[in-house]
Amino acid sequence: MGSQREALQRIISTLANKNDEIQNFIDTLNQTLKGVQENSSNILSELDEEFDSLYSILDEVKESMINSIKQEQARKSQELQSQLSQCNNALENSEELLEFATRSLDIKEPEEFSKAARQIKDRVTMASAFRLSLKPKVSDNMTHLMVDFSQERQILQTLKFLPVPKAPEIDPVECLVADNSVTVAWRMPEEDNKIDHFIMEYRKTNFDGLPRVKDERCWEVVDNIKGTEYTLSGLKFDSKYMNFRVRACNKAVAGEFSDPVTLETKALNFNLDNSSSHLNLKVEDTCVEWDPTGGKGQDSKIKGKENKGRSGTPSPKRTSVGSRPPAVRGSRDRFTGESYTVLGDTAIESGQHYWEVKAQKDCKSYSVGVAYKTLGKFDQLGKTNTSWCIHVNNWLQNTFAAKHNNKVKALDVAVPERIGVFCDFDGGQLSFYDANSKQLLYSFKAKFTQPVLPGFMVWCGGLSLSTGMQVPSAVRTLQKNENGMTGSTSSLNNITQ
Share of the chain above pLDDT 90, in %: 57
Per residue in 409-434, pLDDT (tens digit) is 999 999 999 999 999 999 999 999 99
Q: Contact, 409 vs 402, CB < 8 A? A: yes
C-alpha span between 188 and 228 (Å, rounded)? 9
Percent of the residues in the chain that have a pLDDT greater than 70, as a whole number: 88
Query: How does DSSP assign 5-64, residue by residue?
Result: HHHHHHHHHHHHHHHHHHHHHHHHHHHHHHHHHHHHHHHHHHHHHHHHHHHHHHHHHHHH
Give, in order, the Cα–Cα distances in Å from 364 to each of 265, 337, 396, 457. 36, 18, 9, 11
The one-letter amino acid at 250: N
Mention every residue, 6+ apart, whose C-beta is less than 8 A from residue 419: 356, 357, 358, 368, 390, 432, 433, 434, 435, 441
- Residue 185's contacts (CB-CB under 8 Å, 6 or more residues apart) are 170, 171, 174, 175, 228, 229
* pLDDT tens for each residue of 189-226: 998 888 999 999 999 998 887 767 666 788 999 999 99
Mean pLDDT, the chain, integer: 86
Sequence-ordered list of residues with C-beta below 8 angstroms from that of 103, at least 6 positions apart, any chain: none
Mind listing the pLDDT tens digit for each residue in 362-405? 899 999 999 999 999 999 999 999 999 999 999 888 999 999 99
pLDDT band at 6 (very low <50, low <70, confident <90, very high): confident
Is the pLDDT at 307 greater than 50, yes or no?
no
Question: One-letter amino acid identity for 298?
Answer: Q
pLDDT score of 278 more than 90: yes
**Nearest in space to 204 (alpha carbons), one of 267, 271, 287:** 267
- pLDDT at residue number 487: 35
What average pLDDT score do residues 117-142 get? 83
CB 445 within 8 A of CB 327: no
Lowest mean pLDDT among 190-194, 201-205, 269-273, 323-327: 323-327
Among residues 373, 400, 395, 371, the alpha carbon closest in space to that of 383 is found at 371
Report the 10 Å Cβ neighbour count for 220. Answer: 12
Instruction: Please give the residue that has the higher pLDDT: either 177 or 111.
Output: 177
DSSP E strand boundaries for 310-379:
341-343, 352-359, 365-372
Can you give the pLDDT at residue 304? Answer: 42
Give the angle subtended at the CA of 285 by the CAs of 281 and 291, to the nearest 5°: 15
Mean pLDDT for 478-493 is 58
CA R_g for the chain = 47
Whole-number pLDDT of residue 484: 58
pLDDT band at 165 (very low <50, low <70, confident <90, very high): very high
Question: Which one is predicted more confidently, 263 or 4?
Answer: 263
Alpha carbons 152 and 51: distance in angstroms, whole number: 15
d(CA 231, CA 215): 26
Give how far Cα 298 sits from Cα of 6, 287, 303, 315, 322, Å.
51, 21, 8, 17, 6
How confident is the model over 40-87, as pLDDT tens digits? 898 899 889 989 999 999 999 999 999 999 999 999 999 999 989 989
pTM listed for this prediction: 0.66
- With vertex at residue 83, the alpha carbon angle to CA 79 and CA 85, rounded to the nearest 5 degrees, is 120
Q: Which residues contact 260 (CB under 8 A, 6 or more apart)?
A: 210, 211, 243, 244, 245
Question: Per-residue pLDDT averaged across 249-274, rounded?
Answer: 93
Q: Confidence class of residue 308 from pLDDT cuts 50, 70 and 90?
A: very low
Which has the higher per-residue pLDDT, 429 or 300?
429
